[in-house]
Amino acid sequence: MLNAMTRQGLRITDQRRTIAKIFAKHDGYLSPKDVYEQLRKVYPGVSFDTIYRNLRLLSDVGLLARFYFMDGGQKFKACKLDHHHHPLICVNCEKTVAFDYCPMDHLGDLPGHYKIVNHRFEIYGICEACQQHGNYV
């Protein structure tokens, strides 16, 4: 992630370095609050706003994927930088399965002559394990 930040022209601050380490150690999703709680152990004076701005910036440049969960909360996850994919997300256990199909590849002409600069596509459901155990909402 640090090499990708450099390639994007981002300054690598100590806080961004620590954020990268947090996501490298965690395979799942983290809310801004999760990151804030971990980061303030190292930087007690850090503000939640600073954390949120950094998460949004890293998401905007494609280093973190931002997901909107059904409960209304945003969560972030480190992106796989080797290829473009979209997630199937279990709303119960948050297990994610990536798939390579991209609906943008099949999009025809858009109204208003829009030039697409970015997109997000997520599918939410119940994974097979949660269905088998019947422990979902």
Write down the H helix ranges in the chain: 2-7, 14-25, 32-42, 48-60, 128-133
Question: 79: annotated binding-site residue?
Answer: no
The model's confidence at residue 82, banded by pLDDT at 50, 70 and 90, is low
Average pLDDT of 106-112? 78
Class in CATH terms, 83-137? alpha beta
pLDDT of residue 41: 93
- pLDDT value for 39: 94
**Known binder of ligand: residue 102?**
no
CATH 1.10.10.10 is held by the domain 1-82: yes
CA dist 38 → 32, 119, 127 (Å): 10, 29, 29
Residue 80 confidence (pLDDT): 65
Q: Is 127 annotated as a binding residue?
A: yes
Q: Average pLDDT of 17-32? A: 88
Q: Where are the domains of the chain?
A: 1-82, 83-137
pTM, rounded to two decimals: 0.67
